[in-house]
Amino acid sequence: MNLHVLVTGGAGYLGSVLCERLLAAGYRVTTVDDMMYQQRSLLHLCANPHFDFVSGDARDRELMRRLVKEADALIPLAAIVGAPACDRDSLLARSVNLEAVRLLNSLRSPQQMVIYPTTNSGYGTQSGDLFCTEDTPLEPISLYGQTKSQAEAELLEAPNVITLRLATVFGMSPRMRLDLLVNHFVYAAVTDGYIVIFEKDFKRNYIHIRDVADCFVHCIENFKRMAGRPYNAGLDAANLSKEELALKIKEYVPSFYVHFAQVGSDPDKRNYIVSNQRLREAGFEARRSLDDGIGELLKGYRMMGRARFKNV
């Protein structure tokens, strides 16, 4: 019988790609999502007999009790993602990002696998000069980072858990997000033609969304030897400053005007570079480059066309 994977929040940016990848790997997939953004990102999977969708809330105890007991592996993606969204409704953020994970953990058996995606933004305001490893103290500076880091810490106290500290994800998805840094910079290049960047030297690590999906499959297939630890998941060649990222995009969109502001500041103070050595030693390495992602995004944005409320 095929391994059965339960994905919460599976209709989101990452889940829409991950569910398809899990099915391609031969797993049965059930996803639960409340469709709070009215997305229709999983319609193309409905013809697959190994896929099932449940409309519901990951905080619903009775629903989750029923779904969890039928699964072999649990992937809690349901979250209020990003600092601005969490700040807009802090109670909702804590409820979904932390309490729903606690609920899932309380309902599962110790034998069930959990693979939990958190964020490497927990490294916060490091210098940007030294590589952060999984042993680097977490210093999350946003409510988003705090809730994800706390959920990770509590999960790692339980058996049979792998956590992935994801770099900033980029790439196209059926449920697209434009607020992620690479996606945003490319979108600005092809729509506005310019961008103003504060704190141009602040650094971040990046990873393609399909590498993330591949990484989840690798974790399932190598679960026993990887369990019990956190893993940074990023692209080693993509520890870049915001300036370096913008200039990379300008290679593809020469008319892109980039202004590095000397006055003013970015509310996002994250500044760190990350070592992905532990994950590489576990047998997985991200392989899709920023160049791959930029080319993909340029094609995708041509398909998306003009924004609904823009005149030009």
Q: Provide the 10 A C-beta neighbour count for residue 7.
A: 26
Q: Give Cβ neighbours of residue 144 (< 8 Å, ≥ 6 apart).
A: 80, 81, 82, 83, 85, 86, 93, 97, 119, 121
Res. 143 pLDDT band, cuts 50 70 90: very high
Nearest to 188 by CA among 297, 37, 308, 303: 297
Nearest to 107 by CA among 64, 60, 57, 71: 64
Give the least confident one: 49-58, 124-133, 196-205, 300-309.
124-133
Residue 306: pLDDT above 80? no
Nearest to 225 by CA among 284, 275, 166: 284
Tell me the H-state helices in the chain. 13-24, 61-68, 83-88, 90-94, 100-107, 143-156, 181-191, 209-221, 223-226, 242-250, 277-281, 290-304
Give the model's pLDDT for residue 129: 67
Residue 193: pLDDT above 80? yes
Which of 3-7, 199-203, 269-273 is most confident?
3-7
Residue for token digits 């003009």? 306
Residue 134: pLDDT above 80? yes
**Burial of residue 294 (number of CB atoms within 10 Å: 0-12, 13-18, 19+):** buried
Residue 125: pLDDT above 90? no
Facing residues of 171 across strands?
none
Res. 310 pLDDT band, cuts 50 70 90: low
**Separation CA 106–CA 116 (nearest Å):** 15
The CATH number assigned to the domain with range 4-125+132-171+206-234+274-287 reads 3.40.50.720
211-227 pLDDT tens trace: 999 999 999 999 999 99
Residue 268: pLDDT above 80? no
Give the model's pLDDT for residue 281: 98
Task: Output the average pLDDT for the chain.
Answer: 93
**Separation CA 171–CA 175 (nearest Å):** 11
